Amino acid sequence: MSFNQANYVWMSGKLVPWSEANVHVSAHSLHLGSGIFEALRCYETESGPAIFRLDAHLERLWQSASVYEMAIPFTKGQLEDAICETISSNGLSDCYIRILCYYGSGSLGVFPRQCPVEVTILAWTLGTYIGSDALKRGAAVTISSWVKFHSQMMPTTAKASGQYLNSLLALREALDRGCDEALLLDLHGNIAEGSGENLFIVRDGILKTNDDRSSILMGITRDAVIRIAGDLGYEVEVGELSLEELLASDEAFFTGTAAEVTPIREVDGKSLGRSVPGPITAQLQEFYFAAISGKDSRYKDWLRFLDRSQAGYSHSHRV
C-alpha cells in the first residue's frame, strides 16, 4: 500500500499540502496506538465519483470512539463534508480514504490526559490490495501462529490503531512464508479472519461466514456481500467457521474495503475447490463491482455521490 501522494490532507478543519501534514512526535497515539480509524473507497461511476457506504463507515467510527470514550470534535455531517472536500480538492475519483481520529500532544501516560483529539483525512489512489492479480488468480493464505485477540482483551468490533499490531505480526509471518495473507484463528481454535479482511466459504452452494463471536471486525463489505448473496437467492449461514470446514470448502474468499472480494486459492499449499475464482465467488465479485460502480440500481443507497461541480475538481486551492 505505497502512496500515490495526493496534494492535500485534511487536518482538523483545514486542507494542508501533503508534505506539511505533520504531527508532533509527542502525540499520544504515536506512542500508544490510541487512535481509531476508518478505511473507505470512492469509485468512479457514470454519475461521477461515489463513496461506498459512507454512512456505515461513519457509524462504525463513532462506535469505535464510543468504546474508547474518545470525543470526536466534529459531527458526522462535518466529516462527511470533509471527506468529500478531501477527495474533490485532490481531483480524485477512484481512491482509498483513511479517516484517523487520534490523541495529539498533551501527556504520555497511558490515559490520554489533556491530549486534544485530532482528526485527519487522507485520500489517494490505490489499486488492488492483496497482490496485483489476486482478484483473478486468488490469494495464497497461511494459518497464522498468532491468535486473534479475544473481545475480552480488546474490542474486536472497534477499529483502533493499536489493535492492528496483531494483524501486523500475522501478515509479516504470512509474507515470510511466501503467502499473500494470513488467516488468524480465534482463542477457541476456530477461524477468526484475515489481517484486514473477513472470510466466507462456499460449500454445496451455501455460503457461510462468522460473526463477532469469533473475534472479528464486523466488516461493511461482509454486510454488503451477505445482502447481495441473499438477493441472488443464496443461503448465507452465520456461525463458527472451523479450519476443517475451510479446507473442505468448494470456494473461499475474503471481503474488505481494501481487498474487495478476493478469492482464496490455497491454504498452506492446499488448493481449494476446482477453479479460482469459483463460480459463486466470481458471481458475487461481479455483482459487488456492479454495486460499487453504480451499475446496479438496487444498491444506489450505498453510494454517496460527489458533486463534480464542487471546489477542487476545478483545482481551487483551499489551504
Ligand X SMILES: Cc1ncc(COP(=O)(O)O)c(C=O)c1O
Positions that interact with ligand X (CB under 6 A): 39, 167, 193, 196-198, 217, 219-222, 255-257
Q: Return the residue nearest ligand X (CB atom).
A: 219
In the block, residue with C-alpha cell 487522507? 122
Nearer residue to ligand X within complex by CB, 104 or 196: 196
Helix, strand, coil % in the chain, rounded to nearest 5 = 30, 25, 40
Whether 208 is catalytic: no
Q: Toward ligand X, which CB reaches closer, 83 or 115?
A: 83
Q: Would the CA dihedral through 133, 300, 3, 145 be positive or negative? A: negative
For residue 277, whether the previous peptide bond is cis, meaning omega lies within 30 degrees of 0, is yes
Residue closer to ligand X (CB basis): 66 or 157: 157
Query: Cβ 264 to ligand X, closest distance in Å?
Result: 14
Please, what is the minimum distance in Å from the beta carbon of residue 217 to ligand X?
Answer: 4
Residue 270's Cβ-count burial label (10 Å; 0-12, 13-18, 19+) is exposed
- What are the cell numbers at 291? 454495486
Q: Which of 159, 270, 295, 300 is catalytic?
A: 159
Nearest approach in angstroms of CB 224 to ligand X is: 8
Is 94 or 311 the residue whose CB approaches ligand X more closely? 94
Angle between helix 220-231 and 54-67 (nearest 10): 140
Shortest reach from residue 33's CB to ligand X, in Å: 14
The residues annotated with a catalytic role in the active site are: 159
